[in-house]
């Protein structure tokens, strides 16, 4: 299963899965003005942080 498939298994993505950059990823529901309803994931593991937060996203965190 690809990254997008795993994310869509646990989240209700209304759009596509997009590679992005951010400590709050993997996440869903991007801001409405960018990619509304998309699931986002980063390919840079060094960026991942359980403290990552953005107001417009809901995330999956492997730290929990």
Q: What is the pLDDT of residue 60?
A: 73
- Residues near 12 by Cβ (< 8 Å), separated by ≥ 6? 28
Q: Are 52 and 24 in contact (CB under 8 A)?
A: yes
Averaged over 23-44, what is the pLDDT?
A: 78
> What confidence score (pLDDT) does residue 47 get?
67
44 confidence band (pLDDT: 50, 70, 90):
confident
At residue 1 the predicted structure's pLDDT band, cuts being 50, 70 and 90, is low
- C-alpha–C-alpha distance, residues 18 and 38, integer Å: 7
In order, the DSSP letters of the chain are --HHHHHHHHS--SS-EEEE--TT-SEE-B-TTTSBT-EEEES-GGG--TT---TT-EE--TT-
Please give the average per-residue pLDDT across 20-38, as a whole number. 77
Please report, for the chain, the start and end positions of each structural domain, with discontinuous segments joined by +. Answer: 3-59
Question: Average pLDDT, stretch 22-37?
Answer: 76
């Amino acid at each position: 299963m690809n990254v997008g498939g795993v994310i869509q298994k646990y989240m209700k993505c209304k759009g596509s899965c997009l590679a992005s950059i951010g400590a709050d990823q993997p996440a869903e529901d991007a801001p409405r003005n960018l990619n509304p309803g998309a699931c986002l994931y980063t390919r840079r593991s060094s960026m991942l942080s359980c403290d990552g937060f953005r107001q417009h996203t809901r995330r999956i965190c492997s730290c929990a």
